[in-house]
């Protein structure tokens, strides 16, 4: 939708007219849209391949578009931020113009579409305020919301997103230019219409390219929630839905439990890293789906938990139940199989299917998409564990979650000991092995071998051997080899990743370092990335014929060059843009922060265009705390 706003002020439905609405309609699975229509206020020259419908009255335009929606009768409505901007604007504008037949956009006749505020809040996703318009029988599937939930990007503007996924630069028009073109002639309005159609089609293309509908349908089926919940609700509703599905099969009902927000409980162990640069292969072993597999192996569930003393009361023998590291008791599956393990089996089998498809795929972009799908299913499985520990949730059970993390802590410790005790000189190996780092479910081992091939072979052997010490389906896997490996700190490292072949690395992998963080500027991320490349990739080939030094000296030189470019003003300002999320309202912050101050100043200038809760605020630092301006 385009409207004719006034310069410097964000558009208001009370005063600023809707001048165009473009709609592009496509059947899921087909590659081309079968309807391209633009509704324009005033005449508009024709556009090849599109239907142009001109109206002299804005009210007619709106009414006609609503009828169009009812006639086309779509299952899914998408767009870019249409949920929070376009549709509310249209609804409000229609009310101002008294277009009484407009707000019936659903499939059920006579149910009026109304605008509501809704807000979503969770620890991991922060707080977001959204609008919601009901359209019974249709699903609002706003691409913006999909991207916010599934992709961590520096910027979520349609133009940034379009460049990121399609490598296309989106044409944009300043709002006041649109207003000027509207008051021109049928040719200038055609320019607006062309853009409007393009902007309507773009989200559809992205939705298709990212396979959003397919992946979300799978998630909806696996977890048993409506498609719309996946964009408007959190993880809890998915777990509850699966719990109810399993419970119903067994004739159980779910109790209502209220719980005061209590103390946090302890989670996974992060092994103290032996920081440093390793120019030898480092083997990484990692439990596959650790927490879910713990819950399955030990049959941890609400329905298998024994309260203190009930083992005796029920006359259970010692082989019929287990004691967890936290001192809680659960019956074995021979007595009663838990619901959670069954849910996890089904989620993990969906993940296994997704991983199999991922393996078959050769197109790199589709591979990424399928990896996202696989990770979403892993997330759902881990959320089953998270759900039991969610103290502001519907059915918290810390006995389960604490037992899970307790087992996890024991397991990583045991794995470290096993590996270090077997791979020793006294057992006939080349060197005494050492676990140099590990996080929750993984150990990074220096086995003392010099080739990637050996590191892989020994890794596979070690993983299989350690696995025998644990109850299935718990399984330690050889995951990859890093060579070389730069271990900077807990949760911060980089290395060249070998897993498919021992002779060539697959990629450089960076964890936790600036290069993968969105809260610093691209200049820093790129600089550190190229320094790491010099350090890791060209570590020992400081070829004298090369004019550019590699390895650490090359990295230092490169950093100096970039700093001097920066001081000499040879860096484009776009490289200096930092973005940070606005996670709460200005007055709720305890300390001063640049992006918060900026957002507040913008709000005072024009509240409509200022960053909202949950938006990322882009800014450039132009002056040091003390001293002269930098630019």
Ligand X SMILES: Nc1ccn([C@H]2C[C@H](O)[C@@H](COP(=O)(O)OP(=O)(O)OP(=O)(O)O)O2)c(=O)n1
Partner DNA sequence: GGAACGTCCTAT
Partner DNA sequence: TAAGATAGGACGTTCC
How far apart are alpha carbons 269 and 23 in whole angstroms? 52
Sites for DNA among residues 332-361 (CB under 7 A): none
Interface residue with DNA among 201, 229, 277, 429 (CB under 7 A) is 229
Residue found by looking up tokens 């992006």 in the block: 595
Interface residue with DNA among 5, 13, 234, 338 (CB under 7 A) is 234
Interface residue with DNA among 233, 245, 332, 366 (CB under 7 A) is 233
387 binds ligand X (CB under 6 A): no
How far apart are alpha carbons 543 and 326 in whole angstroms? 57
288 contacts which partner out of DNA, ligand X, none, CB within 5 to 8 A by kind?
ligand X
> Min. distance of Cβ 397 from ligand X in angstroms?
16
Sites for DNA among residues 479-498 (CB under 7 A): 488-492
Who's near 612: CB < 8 A, 6+ residues apart? Answer: 129, 582
Residue 177: which of 11, 10, 4, 44 has the closest Cα?
4
DSSP string, 322-339: EE-TTS-EEE-TTT---H
How far apart are alpha carbons 272 and 481 in whole angstroms? 20
Interface residue with ligand X among 37, 215, 283, 440 (CB under 6 A) is 440
289 binds ligand X (CB under 6 A): yes
DSSP string, 469-535: TS-TT--EEEEEEEEEEEEEETTEEEEEEESS-SSS--EEEEESSGGG-SSS-HHHHHHHHHHHHHH
Q: Helices 290-297 and 339-360: crossing angle, nearest 10°?
A: 140
Site string for DNA, 511-540 (x = CB under 7 A): xx---xxxx---------------------
Quick one: tokens of 442?
A: 């993984």
CA dihedral 306, 307, 311, 314 (to 10 degrees): -90
Cβ proximity to ligand X: between 382 and 530 the closer is 382
Cβ proximity to ligand X: between 268 and 549 the closer is 268
403 binds ligand X (CB under 6 A): no
Site string for DNA, 438-467 (x = CB under 7 A): -xxxx-------------------------
Q: Which stretch binds ligand X (CB under 6 A): 53-61, 143-151, 379-387, 533-541?
A: 379-387
Cβ proximity to ligand X: between 132 and 409 the closer is 409
Who's near 337: CB < 8 A, 6+ residues apart? Answer: 299, 304
Cis before 139? omega within 30: no
Cβ proximity to ligand X: between 13 and 234 the closer is 234
How far apart are alpha carbons 207 and 219 in whole angstroms? 16
593 binds DNA (CB under 7 A): yes
Cβ proximity to ligand X: between 224 and 268 the closer is 268
How far apart are alpha carbons 176 and 181 in whole angstroms? 9
> Min. distance of Cβ 529 from ligand X in angstroms?
23
> Min. distance of Cβ 404 from ligand X in angstroms?
8
Sites for DNA among residues 394-423 (CB under 7 A): 394-395, 401, 405
Cβ proximity to ligand X: between 378 and 580 the closer is 378
* Cβ pair 133, 113 in contact under 8 A: yes
Cβ proximity to ligand X: between 23 and 440 the closer is 440
> Min. distance of Cβ 65 from DNA in angstroms?
32
Burial 172-181 (b: 16+ CB within 10 A, else e): ebebeebbeb
579 binds ligand X (CB under 6 A): no
Who's near 18: CB < 8 A, 6+ residues apart? Answer: 1, 2, 3, 41, 58, 61, 62, 89, 90, 93
130 binds DNA (CB under 7 A): no
> Min. distance of Cβ 156 from ligand X in angstroms?
21
Interface residue with DNA among 392, 464, 622, 630 (CB under 7 A) is 392
Size of the site for ligand X (CB under 6 A): 13
How far apart are alpha carbons 235 and 252 in whole angstroms? 22
Residue 462: which of 489, 435, 498 has the closest Cα?
435
444 binds ligand X (CB under 6 A): no
470 binds ligand X (CB under 6 A): no
Cβ proximity to DNA: between 74 and 386 the closer is 386
Size of the site for DNA (CB under 7 A): 75
Cβ proximity to ligand X: between 38 and 411 the closer is 411
Interface residue with ligand X among 142, 199, 399, 441 (CB under 6 A) is 441
Quick one: tokens of 320?
A: 């019929």
270 binds DNA (CB under 7 A): yes
Interface residue with ligand X among 55, 102, 278, 287 (CB under 6 A) is 287
> Min. distance of Cβ 396 from DNA in angstroms?
8
Query: At 357, which helix (H) or strand (E)?
Result: helix 339-360
Q: Helices 398-422 and 452-467: crossing angle, nearest 10°?
A: 130
Interface residue with ligand X among 378, 416, 446, 595 (CB under 6 A) is 378
> Min. distance of Cβ 37 from DNA in angstroms?
36
* Cβ pair 478, 285 in contact under 8 A: yes
390 contacts which partner out of DNA, ligand X, none, CB within 5 to 8 A by kind?
DNA
603 binds DNA (CB under 7 A): no
117 contacts which partner out of ligand X, DNA, none, CB within 5 to 8 A by kind?
none
Sites for DNA among residues 278-317 (CB under 7 A): 286, 291
Three-class DSSP category at 122:
strand
Beta bridge partners of 616: 581
The residue ranges that bind ligand X (CB under 6 A) are 286-291, 378-379, 382, 385-386, 440-441
């Amino acid at each position: 939708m385009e409207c004719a706003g006034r310069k410097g002020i964000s558009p208001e439905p009370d005063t600023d007219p809707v001048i165009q609405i473009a709609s592009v309609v496509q059947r899921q699975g087909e590659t081309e849209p079968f309807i391209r229509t633009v509704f324009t206020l005033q005449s508009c020259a024709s556009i090849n391949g599109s239907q142009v419908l001109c109206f002299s009255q804005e009210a007619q335009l709106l009414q006609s578009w609503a009828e169009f929606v009812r006639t086309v009768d779509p299952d899914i409505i998408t767009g870019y931020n249409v949920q929070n901007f376009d549709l509310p604007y249209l609804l409000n504008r229609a009310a101002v113009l008294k277009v009484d037949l407009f707000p019936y956009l659903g499939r059920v006749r006579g149910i009026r579409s109304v605008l509501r505020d809704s807000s979503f809040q969770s620890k991991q996703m922060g707080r977001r305020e959204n609008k919601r318009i009901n359209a019974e029988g249709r699903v609002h599937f706003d691409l913006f919301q999909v991207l916010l939930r599934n992709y961590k990007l520096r910027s979520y503007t349609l133009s940034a997103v379009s460049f990121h996924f399609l490598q296309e630069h989106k044409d944009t028009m300043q709002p006041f230019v649109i207003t000027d073109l509207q008051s021109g002639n049928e040719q200038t309005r055609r320019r607006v219409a062309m853009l409007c159609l393009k902007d309507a089609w773009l989200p559809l293309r992205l939705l298709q390219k990212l396979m959003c509908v397919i992946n979300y349908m799978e998630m909806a089926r696996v977890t048993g929630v409506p498609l719309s919940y996946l964009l408007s609700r959190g993880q809890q509703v998915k777990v509850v839905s699966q719990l109810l599905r399993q419970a119903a099969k067994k004739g159980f009902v779910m109790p209502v439990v209220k719980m005061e927000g209590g103390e946090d409980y302890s989670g996974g162990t992060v092994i103290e890293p032996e920081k440093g640069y390793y120019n030898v292969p480092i083997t990484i072993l990692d439990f596959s789906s650790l927490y879910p597999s713990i819950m399955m192996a030990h049959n941890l569930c609400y329905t298998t938990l024994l309260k203190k003393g009930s083992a005796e009361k029920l006359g259970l023998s010692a082989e019929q139940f287990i004691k967890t590291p936290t001192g809680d008791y659960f019956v074995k599956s021979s007595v009663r199989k838990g619901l959670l393990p069954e849910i996890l089996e089904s989620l993990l089998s969906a993940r296994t299917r997704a991983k199999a498809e991922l393996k078959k795929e050769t197109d790199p972009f589709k591979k990424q998409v399928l990896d996202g799908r696989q990770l979403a299913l892993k997330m759902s499985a881990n959320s089953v564990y998270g759900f039991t520990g969610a103290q502001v949730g519907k059915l918290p059970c810390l006995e389960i979650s604490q037992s899970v993390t307790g087992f996890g802590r024991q397991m990583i410790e045991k794995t470290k000991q096993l590996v270090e005790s077997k791979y020793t000189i006294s057992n006939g190996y080349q060197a005494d092995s050492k676990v140099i780092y590990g996080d929750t479910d993984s150990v990074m081992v220096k086995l003392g071998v010099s080739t990637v091939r050996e590191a892989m072979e020994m890794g596979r052997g070690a993983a299989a051997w350690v696995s025998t010490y644990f109850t299935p389906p718990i399984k330690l896997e050889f995951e990859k080899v890093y060579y070389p490996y730069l271990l900077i700190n807990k949760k911060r490292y980089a290395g060249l990743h070998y897993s498919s072949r021992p002779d060539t690395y697959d990629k450089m992998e960076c964890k936790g370092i600036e290069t993968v963080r969105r809260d610093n500027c691209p200049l820093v991320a790129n600089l550190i990335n190229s320094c790491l490349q010099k350090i890791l990739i060209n570590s020992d080939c400081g070829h004298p014929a090369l004019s550019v030094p590699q390895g650490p000296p090359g990295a230092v030189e490169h950093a100096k060059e970039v700093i001097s470019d920066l001081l000499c003003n040879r860096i484009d300002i776009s490289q200096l843009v930092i973005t940070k999320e606005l996670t709460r309202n200005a007055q709720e912050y305890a300390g001063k922060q640049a992006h918060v101050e900026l957002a507040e100043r913008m709000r005072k200038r024009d509240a409509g265009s200022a960053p909202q809760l949950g938006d990322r605020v882009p800014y450039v630092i132009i002056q040091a705390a003390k001293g002269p301006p930098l630019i």
